[in-house]
Chains A and B, each alone.
Chain A
């Protein structure tokens, strides 16, 4: 603050002798300047003190009305405000949403381009489960980076924060992927095959992030998943029907799908029962 209300202006202001413009300028200054606010607070008449309180309240409500982003506004309708703060305050989380959204759009365009045939469907069921995984990993990295040691030494449980972020990312990416999947020409079977691996990968990321860097966990899981589902993408000499192509990987056969769902449930259970270990990650 480059200037302060001087004694003569104060006297004039108190006596109501200032012009409206000058008085308004004093009041605007008071809103911004803590030092000058202390002047009327100390040794002031009740009227002056009331004025002081009013200006503080004005500042307070200005603060409460801090512009919220569209995302925050939307979340604010369904969630308590402090949860919204935890979710939307993080710029990196917004980045995670954008990244996942952009990747989904790209995938949609690609699928539409390759669409009608088996190749498009195969590409979709292999890549779609990786999108929520990527989004979750980005959101987790935000948990660990954001505010660094400040955040880790607060009482808020890291597990709960990770879970919140998982749900936030999943709530956005899963429905969009589902809509895309239904638009696929591969039939209803192909349209559901991505869900079990997507859930398994998200739950595994959560469980393994108790001890390891979420980004590393996501990278390893991505490689694992590509290894498991690679057969579907391998070009074949004979033209195969969609079902035939999908059956080439265990992951898309009924047994594999059941196993993936089991993995999802077990990983989620493991994460919940061992949730206190999530706090230890940063303490080494």
Chain B
């Protein structure tokens, strides 16, 4: 079986900044979460996978094709759904006509079939009753859902979603979870987020990116397991911790190397994530 996404040694620089460095990554069908702090390179990585950007170094294969080659790019785009982090300047459209416009760009020429598909995706994101409002009159979360709706057009084999849950209320997050759960098993989803809760709820597999490098790629449970026995509560921030923060109860939760006899707390993916990114942050400060 060809892997839906395979990157080898991928690098990307923007003038002075290195956005990605030697990224090697192979994704399998299913939902993969991309976690990382601001500026980690998540958007850059997603844009490369979505054929919006070409890398400076390395090789990229998406759905078995090479995006650097025009024919390969076309083949990928026919099977791709992409939600960018920044939505374009389409605020004068109604939700329906925007999604319909994208559907035409996705080569759906038959009018009634296309309109049925547009209705399907708008319903899937819960915007069936807002279809004829101008996008500029929609709330931020609804606009995000319009973006999500266009990504779902035509049942893509690969969905690349850049921060799909930003701005969604709890009910819509649930709906989004249902949309992902309703996708066929052989579909591949790569989504970026800042929320470890999203990853825990949505993504069996996770990639942690920091400063343009892959720090972790594996099962979400394995990310949590990294922090097993390394999370503890104390009355004060502990100097042995990579990260500490105040809990709502007024105690301090620490992630790092616990002292003997520490009050250990069960670890979740957020602790594994903080352990990884916190320690690189600490190294950067030290060096």
* CB closest residue in chain A, given B112: A64
Residues of A within 8 A of B150 (CB): 150
A73 touches B (CB below 8 Å): no
- Cβ-defined contact, B82 with A150, below 8 A: yes
B106 touches A (CB below 8 Å): yes
Residues of B within 8 A of A155 (CB): 74, 77-78, 105-107
Q: Which of A63, A81, A151, A280 contacts B105 (CB 8 A)?
A: A151
B147 touches A (CB below 8 Å): yes
Residues of B within 8 A of A81 (CB): 111
Residues of B within 8 A of A32 (CB): 128-129
| Central interface residue in B73, B80, B90, B112, by most chain A CB within 10 Å | B90
In residues 45-64 of chain B, which contact A (Cβ within 8 Å)? Answer: 47, 50-54
- Cβ-defined contact, A85 with B77, below 8 A: no
Q: Which of B78, B104, B112, B128 contacts A34 (CB 8 A)?
A: B128
* CB closest residue in chain A, given B97: A89
B115 touches A (CB below 8 Å): yes
Residues of B within 8 A of A154 (CB): 77, 102, 105-107
Give the B-binding residues of A (Cβ under 8 A): 1, 32-34, 59-60, 63-64, 66, 80-82, 85-86, 89-91, 145-156, 276, 279-280, 282-284
A-B contact sample (11 more), CB < 8 A, given A148-B84, A149-B88: A32-B129, A34-B123, A59-B119, A59-B128, A63-B115, A66-B132, A86-B105, A146-B101, A147-B88, A156-B106, A283-B54
Residues of B within 8 A of A1 (CB): 129
* CB closest residue in chain A, given B51: A153
- Cβ-defined contact, A153 with B80, below 8 A: yes
* CB closest residue in chain A, given B108: A82
Q: How far is the CB of A25 from chain B (nearest CB, A)?
A: 15
Say whether, besides A63-B131, A82-B109, A156-B104, A145 and B89 are in contact (CB < 8 Å). yes
How many residues does chain B have at the interface if contact means C-beta atoms less than 8 Å apart? 50
Residues of A within 8 A of B115 (CB): 60, 63-64
Q: Would you give the 0/1 interface string for B161-193, flagging 1 where the beta carbon is closer than 8 Å to chain A?
A: 000000000000000000000000000000000
CA distance A60 to B107 in the complex (A): 21
Q: Would you give the 0/1 interface string for B79-91, flagging 1 where the beta carbon is closer than 8 Å to chain A?
A: 0101110111110
**Closest 7 CB pairs between A and B?**
A148-B88, A91-B92, A154-B105, A156-B105, A149-B84, A32-B129, A147-B88
B248 touches A (CB below 8 Å): no
CA distance A147 to B94 in the complex (A): 13
B114 touches A (CB below 8 Å): yes
CA distance A279 to B70 in the complex (A): 8
Say whether, besides A147-B98, A148-B84, A150-B150, A283 and B51 are in contact (CB < 8 Å). yes
Say whether, besides A34-B129, A155-B74, A155-B106, A66 and B97 are in contact (CB < 8 Å). yes
- Cβ-defined contact, B101 with A86, below 8 A: yes
Residues of B within 8 A of A282 (CB): 52
* CB closest residue in chain B, given A155: B77
Q: Which of A63, A91, A280, A283 contacts B96 (CB 8 A)?
A: A63
CA distance A153 to B105 in the complex (A): 9
B93 touches A (CB below 8 Å): yes
CA distance A282 to B101 in the complex (A): 19
Residues of B within 8 A of A276 (CB): 70
Residues of B within 8 A of A156 (CB): 104-107
* CB closest residue in chain B, given A80: B109
List 24 A-B pairs, Cβ < 8 Å.
A34-B123, A34-B128, A63-B115, A64-B112, A66-B96, A81-B111, A86-B105, A89-B97, A89-B98, A91-B93, A146-B88, A149-B50, A149-B82, A150-B82, A150-B87, A150-B88, A150-B102, A153-B51, A153-B82, A154-B105, A155-B78, A156-B104, A156-B106, A284-B53
Say whether, besides A89-B97, A284-B54, A151 and B74 are in contact (CB < 8 Å). no
CA distance A279 to B123 in the complex (A): 32
Residues of A within 8 A of B233 (CB): none
Q: How far is the CB of A192 from chain B (nearest CB, A)?
A: 38
- Cβ-defined contact, B111 with A150, below 8 A: no
CA distance A120 to B82 in the complex (A): 53
B3 touches A (CB below 8 Å): no
Residues of A within 8 A of B114 (CB): 82
CA distance A282 to B90 in the complex (A): 18
* CB closest residue in chain B, given A33: B129
Residues of B within 8 A of A59 (CB): 119, 128
CA distance A102 to B83 in the complex (A): 37
Residues of B within 8 A of A152 (CB): 52
Residues of A within 8 A of B100 (CB): 85, 89
- Cβ-defined contact, A60 with B119, below 8 A: yes
B126 touches A (CB below 8 Å): yes
Residues of B within 8 A of A64 (CB): 111-112, 115
CA distance A149 to B77 in the complex (A): 12
Q: How far is the CB of B14 from chain A (nearest CB, A)?
A: 10
B263 touches A (CB below 8 Å): no
- Cβ-defined contact, A89 with B101, below 8 A: yes
CA distance A139 to B137 in the complex (A): 25
Residues of A within 8 A of B101 (CB): 85-86, 89-90, 146-147
Q: How far is the CB of B102 from chain A (nearest CB, A)?
A: 6
